[in-house]
Structure 1
Amino acid sequence: MTSTNNSIRNTIQQGDCIELMQAMPARSVDFILTDPPYLVRYKDRTGRSIANDDNGDWLEPAAAEMFRVLKNDALCVSFYGWTQTDRFMSAWRKAGFRIVGHIVFRKRYASAARFVSYTHESAYVLAKGRPVLPANPPADVIDWVYTGNRLHPTQKPVAVLKPLIEAFCPPGGLVLDPFCGSGSTLVAACDADCDYLGIELDSAYHRIAARRLAA
Structure 2
Amino acid sequence: MKDQFGNITLFNADCMDILRDMADNSFDLAIVDPPYFDGPNKLGYYGASKSSKGVKRPFYEVKHWTIPENDYFVELMRVSKAQIIWGCNYFRFPFGAGRIVWDKVNGRSSFSDCEIAYCSLIDTVRLFAFMWNGMCQGKSVAEGRIQQGNKALNERRIHPTQKPVALYKWLLANYAKPGSKILDTHLGSGSICIACDDLGFEMTGIELDPDYYEAAKNRLVSYQMQHKLF
- With normalisation by structure 1, the TM-score equals 0.74
Structure 1, unaligned stretches of length 5 or more?
1-5
**Deviations, residues 6-63 of structure 1 (Å, cap 9, x unaligned):** 999521100100111111111110111111112152412343154554x53x331211
Q: How does 1:138-153 map to 2 (within 5 A)?
A: 140-146=126-132, 148=134, 150-153=157-160
Counterpart in 2 of 1:16?
A: 14
Segments of 4+ in structure 1 off by > 4 A? 6-9, 49-52
Report the RMSD for the aligned CA atoms in angstroms: 2.8
Higher RCO (CA < 8 A, seq sep 6+): 1
Q: Residue type matched to 1:143 in 2?
A: A
Q: CA deviation at 1:79?
A: 1.2
> How far, CA to CA, are the matches of 2:69 and 2:5 in structure 1?
27
> How far, CA to CA, are the matches of 1:182 and 1:7 in structure 2?
16
Aligned length in residues: 183
> How far, CA to CA, are the matches of 2:85 and 2:188 in structure 1?
14
Q: CA deviation at 1:81?
A: 6.9
Q: Which has the larger radius of gyration?
A: 2
Q: How does 1:14-163 map to 2 (within 5 A)?
A: 14-42=12-40, 43-44=46-47, 45-53=57-65, 56=67, 58-71=68-81, 75-80=82-87, 82=89, 85=90, 88=91, 90-91=92-93, 93=94, 97-112=95-110, 118-125=112-119, 127=120, 140-146=126-132, 148=134, 150-163=157-170
Confirm or deny: 8 A CA contact 1:99 1:124 kept in the other structure: yes
Q: CA deviation at 1:99?
A: 3.2
**Deviations, residues 156-179 of structure 1 (Å, cap 9, x unaligned):** 001111111121112121110000
Structure 2, unaligned stretches of length 5 or more?
41-45, 48-56, 135-155, 223-230
Percent identity of the aligned residues? 28
Counterpart in 2 of 1:198?
A: 205
> How far, CA to CA, are the matches of 1:143 and 1:48 in structure 2?
26
Q: 1:169 aligns with which of 157, 169, 176?
A: 176
3-state SS in 2 of match to 1:67: helix
- Give yes or no for the alignment of 1:181 onto 2:182: no
